[in-house]
Structure 1
Amino acid sequence: MKTAAVFFADGFEDIEALSPVDYLRRAGVEVYTVGVKGTPFNDTMIVTSSHNVPMIMDMSLDTYMKKFGDSIPDCVVCPGGGKGAINLSECTTLLNHLEKAWDAGRLVAAICAAPAVVLGKTKIPAGKKWTCYPDMEGESKPEYLSGYSNKVFVTDGNLVTSRGPGAAEEFAMELVRILAGDVMYKKVHDSSQQR
């Protein structure tokens, strides 16, 4: 079974974070919601979205690191939301983990502000095509700007990036296609289109 971790911090954008969780779970991927910055709650935490929706995570980042150690899921996902992306970007443990995932050939995905604000602090965008929320590209390292595209959605090898909430479904479905294959992609897509 394929695995994915979605990293949440206070100020995350609801649809950008929950679409990958929802669609990947529908596709049979084991998804962990991981709280990076929020309110401690038992072995996990409560993280509050940009629209003031509190969510209980499956685990905190500390618990995640203790549980999985050096094992890395097949996919790591950073949602956007201006404040949420900043909160993720301030966590050195997360940034190091994302780089380890990249070095291990795992799928790294980010949407909205996160490609520039979070991944832009790592080596991941080097030599890659990528996109982010309009006018946020300057938040990345200057040497990454040559790879920036104003497309809504970009996949370049193991890097998947998208501009914002309006592309959240397409972003999530691309992760389904890569992790679960074309047959499951069609099944999840078709079931979401039925009324």
Structure 2
Amino acid sequence: MTKVLVPLADGCEELEAVTIIDLLRRGGIEVVTAGLKPGIVRASRGVQLVPDVTLQVALQDDYDMVVLPGGMPGATHLKDDARIIELLQKMAAAGKYTAAICAASMVLAEAGVLDGKRATSYPGFLDGLSGVTVSTAAVVQDGKVLTSRGPGTAMDFALALVETLTGAENRRQVEAGLVRP
């Protein structure tokens, strides 16, 4: 079974985190949520999220993809965590998928994952970076790297992740169950 890690940091964007987790699980993908520290994660709008495990425990396993929810200051907490940066670099070096939405695209940039890539983010978070071609598209995939703009694109992003990991037919089935227009 395909396995995805979703790290959760205090101040993450809950709409993005929950949408990603929910839709991947609807797609039959094993999702492990990991808090940067033990205990409840308080998201950017005060919603409390309970991670499955701590990041320290999660790092003992292997994943097909790591997906970073955005939000502030959650994305900054991810960027400042050396374990996250090292994990992203290892994933990229192993030819595995890395993904981020909203402000968390800056974490991929910090890890060097966006070098020579086309990517998108919440407006302003990738501006001025050399080596990154910034797009305003809702979702951008460049090889094994997927990025998205923000809370309003979370569903499109999560569906793109489902399709990337399990195929277009599974994405169609997941999307049909959502009764999207």
Give the TM bin, normalised by the shorter chain. Answer: over 0.9
Which residue among 78, 84, 104 is the counterpart of 2:68? Answer: 78
RMSD (Å), alpha carbons = 1.5
Which residue among 152, 177, 180 is the counterpart of 1:191? Answer: 177
Give SS of 1:119's match.
Answer: helix
Which residue among 44, 50, 63 is the counterpart of 1:50? Answer: 44
Query: Alpha-carbon deviation of 1:144?
Result: 3.1
- AA aligned to 1:174 is A
Percentage identity across paired residues of the two chains:
38
Which residue among 79, 83, 101 is the counterpart of 1:89? Answer: 79
Partner of 1:8: 8
Larger helix share, 1 or 2 = 1
Give SS of 1:110's match.
Answer: strand
- AA aligned to 1:50 is S
Query: Alpha-carbon deviation of 1:3?
Result: 0.5
Partner of 2:148: 162
Query: Alpha-carbon deviation of 1:194?
Result: 7.0
Tell me how far apart the structure 1 counterparts of residues 16 and 170 of structure 2 sit (CA, whole Å).
21
Change in Cα spacing, 1:82 to 1:144, as seen in structure 2 (3 Å) is farther
- Kindly provide the CA deviation profile for residues 138-159 of structure 1, in whole angstroms up to 9, marking residues without a partner as x: 3x7x3234x1112222111111
- Kindly provide the CA deviation profile for residues 52-74 of structure 1, in whole angstroms up to 9, marking residues without a partner as x: 11111000011112x32xxx311
State whether residues 75 and 106 of structure 1, in contact with CA within 8 Å, keep that contact through their aligned partners in structure 2: yes
Give SS of 2:136's match.
Answer: coil
Tell me how far apart the structure 2 counterparts of residues 85 and 19 of structure 1 sit (CA, whole Å).
17
- AA aligned to 2:123 is P
Query: Alpha-carbon deviation of 1:83?
Result: 0.3
Partner of 2:139: 153
Give SS of 1:6's match.
Answer: strand
Partner of 1:143: 130
Tell me how far apart the structure 1 counterparts of residues 47 and 105 of structure 2 sit (CA, whole Å).
23
State whether residues 120 and 144 of structure 1, in contact with CA within 8 Å, keep that contact through their aligned partners in structure 2: no
- AA aligned to 1:76 is V
- The count of residues paired between Structure 1 and Structure 2 equals 181
- Kindly provide the CA deviation profile for residues 62-100 of structure 1, in whole angstroms up to 9, marking residues without a partner as x: 1112x32xxx31110011002000011110011101110
Q: Mapping of 1:60-139 within 5 angstroms?
A: 60-65=54-59, 67-68=60-61, 72-116=62-106, 118-138=107-127
TM value normalised by structure 1: 0.88
| Structure 2 unaligned regions, length at least 5 | none
Tell me how far apart the structure 2 counterparts of residues 58 and 81 of structure 1 sit (CA, whole Å).
20
Tell me how far apart the structure 1 counterparts of residues 179 and 23 of structure 2 sit (CA, whole Å).
13
TM value normalised by structure 2: 0.95
Query: Alpha-carbon deviation of 1:51?
Result: 0.8
Tell me how far apart the structure 1 counterparts of residues 27 and 138 of structure 2 sit (CA, whole Å).
23
